[in-house]
A and B are shown apart, each in its own frame.
Chain A
């Protein structure tokens, strides 16, 4: 059975994935594996996952994102979630999934700006050393 693949785009030092459809479990796990592979292959500095189109994030998807953020960080890459709908934010908190290791931004544009900002901080640290 073919699972649906989420396209992962590379722009500069960022990987960008936009989840447009309601994910079933197999495609969610496929997405996590694909994204980790792409981080490794591209040495991306940040991964931006845009959830603007998702109207449900249940504990399974929430946990997948939380795990992904921890795994990406172990590899030296930050995960930025963008475009979370208000209803999704409410249900995530009520479910008790607050995604502590994940950066967030209101939309994709602000997510990219956040990544730039973090990049500058990294450069400052290197310069100071």
Chain B
């Protein structure tokens, strides 16, 4: 089995967004994800990291390989100590997607992933943890 892989990227500028995206793709490729899932994973990292720049200024993205019950996946954790999100339902809603120019990335990221958790406290910060499972290897398990 693959060794546990983990990557941290500090997000401070739009260049770090590109770095995080490239690392996510690299890890996804290493884990055997196909091109479409690679794009979904890289795009999600891009959306989350960009939200950090837009709302919090700085933050951190941690990418980790998952190996649970013989299912392989990737976890993206994005953490910041920014202003937090007051209305999570609104931030995740499709309405936000259309109206707000930057926050739309959140609802998009949720659609690209299999699991999506968002914790946010106003004045404390926001943490998003999402996972994508490798469907081929899930099937092999059954």
Contacts and interface: CB of A to CB of B under 8 A. Distances in A.
Given A91-B43, A95-B112, A56 B36 contact: no
Given A56-B25, A59-B105, A96-B97, A25 B42 contact: no
A interface secondary structure, majority: helix
A96 B108 contact: yes
Contacts of B111: 94-96
Contact of B36 (A58, A63, A90, A95): A90
A94 B15 CA distance: 25
A20 interface: no
B108 A56 contact: no
Interface residues of A, number: 22
Contacts, number: 73
B18 A22 contact: yes
Nearest to A28: B14
B39 A88 contact: yes
Given A86-B35, A87-B35, A95-B108, A55 B25 contact: yes
Contacts of A86: 35-36
Interface string B22-50: 10010000000001101110110011001
Interface residues of B, number: 27
Contact of A24 (B14, B43, B97): B14
B95 to A, nearest CB: 12
Nearest to B109: A95
A110 B17 CA distance: 33
Given A25-B17, A58-B50, A94 B40 contact: yes
A113 interface: no
A91 B40 contact: yes
Interface of B: 14-15, 17-18, 21-22, 25, 35-36, 38-40, 42-43, 46-47, 50, 53, 94, 97, 101, 104-105, 107-108, 111-112
12 contacts: A25-B17, A25-B50, A55-B38, A56-B21, A56-B46, A58-B46, A59-B105, A60-B105, A90-B36, A96-B97, A96-B104, A96-B111
